[in-house]
Amino acid sequence: MRSFQPKNPDYRSAATAVFTAQPAMRTLGISLVRLEPGEVDLAMAYGAQFTQQNGFVHAGIITAGLDNACGIAAFTLMPAGSDILTVEFKTNLLAPARGERFIFRAVVVKPGRTLTVCEARAYAGQEDAESLIATMTGTLMALPRRDQGNAVA
């Protein structure tokens, strides 16, 4: 894995602020547990209210975690004053999302001035074991933030 040099010296607080500003992450119980330039881990506990018909976490919820991990990973490498949006992503669901906890781990594959490509993996954890349950490749776009006076985004 290559290492990245962030353009924004305050990438850590900027990325944390964007993550924190998303009500959806609070509602889904997803938290930011690791943040490095171009790399992010999010964590989520199992919640019965987010399951599908067989008791596994819904693919859309897993995708929300993967997409956010990609977005925050990409955001760490964007210049100060950027906003970020997801252009597209593709998810492969490899195994049922069965577990007590879930990790969404994203890395930047190719940072760019306008577009950044990330890859992410979702792992389900049960007792001491972790297993790969889903992958994502996503394209993120940097935009100049509309309201620079706004605290977060």
Q: Report CA 116 to chain centroid distance, whole Å.
A: 13
Please report how close the Cβ of residue 9 comes to a second copy at its closest, in angstroms.
Answer: 21
Contacts for 66 with CB less than 8 Å, ≥ 6 apart: 89, 91, 104, 106, 120, 121, 122, 134, 136, 138
Tokens for 92? 């492969």
Tokens for 95? 């195994």
Please, which residue, 8 or 68, has the CB nearer to a second copy?
Answer: 68
Q: Report the interface residues with a second copy, using CB under 8 A.
A: 18, 21-24, 26-28, 48-54, 57-61, 63-68, 83, 85-96, 109-110, 114-115, 117, 119, 132, 135, 137, 139, 141, 152-153
Please report how close the Cβ of residue 42 comes to a second copy at its closest, in angstroms.
Answer: 11
Please report how close the Cβ of residue 53 comes to a second copy at its closest, in angstroms.
Answer: 4
